[in-house]
Amino acid sequence: MERGEYGAPEKRRRRRCLILTVVAVLLLIVIIAIVLGLTLRKNTDTFKSTFTARCEKFEGYDCEKVWGAFEEAYVGRDPCKVPPGAYDPFIAAAPLKPACNRMMFWSKTKDVVHDFTEKKDCFITVEDTLMGNVLDGLTWCGKEGSSETFTTSCPGWTDCENNTVRSFWNRVSTAFADAACGDVSAMLNGSIDTPFHPKSPTASLESVSLDCERKLEHPQKTHTDTGANSTQKSSKP
């Protein structure tokens, strides 16, 4: 038998092994893509389910319309290039109902103020309204070229100025202040050096939008495990 005749079967075996390896790698890639797609879809569905369930607790709103307006703001966009104004359609779809003399603003006192408003039903915070409640404590963003909602790998609050979540809360805070009427209250953290910090949303957005003559009426001080807190009142026509 010639020498070349011994090499032919060996070449065929190597070729088959190479083809099988390539097929196995491609199959693995497809499986990973399917698993990632299903996981992403599950996360998106869970996020939307949470949003919708919270929305449905409020009467008089079309929750599918509210969700659609919300998605418009960020889906398919760079998560660091979503300005507050992108949420205008969402604000329009979830208008605030008048709550004169009952609106409570807060800064660095989230747990305390919500514990207070739960016990004292005479005050509401932005998180007690539909537009604040549906996304309280959640993280989300979009990606360029994608129609999905992501709940991981999104930029943090300070990573970029116009990130998805930060722009949302800035816009919602402004809308909450715009809707204020009569006397409004603010609960601040009296245990820190600058309770009313000029760069906080309460000072830089909400108080500016109140468009009122700010006055202090005997600030209340409450002592909790986290320190002293003060409540201030201001009036808006």
Catalytic residues: 100, 181
Residues sharing a CB contact under 8 Å with residue 23, sequence separation 6 or more, in sequence order: none
CA–CA dist 67, 90 (Å, integer): 8
Indicate the pairing of strand 182-189 with strand 104-107. Answer: parallel
Give the type of residue at 65: K
Place of tokens 């079967």: 9
- Do 183 and 177 contact (CB within 8 A), yes or no? no
Retrieve residue 54's tokens: 């919270």
The three-class DSSP label of residue 48 is helix
Q: Which is nearest to 134 in space by CA: 168, 108, 98?
A: 168
Q: Which is nearest to 184 in space by CA: 115, 120, 125?
A: 125
Indicate the pairing of strand 227-236 with strand 182-189. Answer: antiparallel
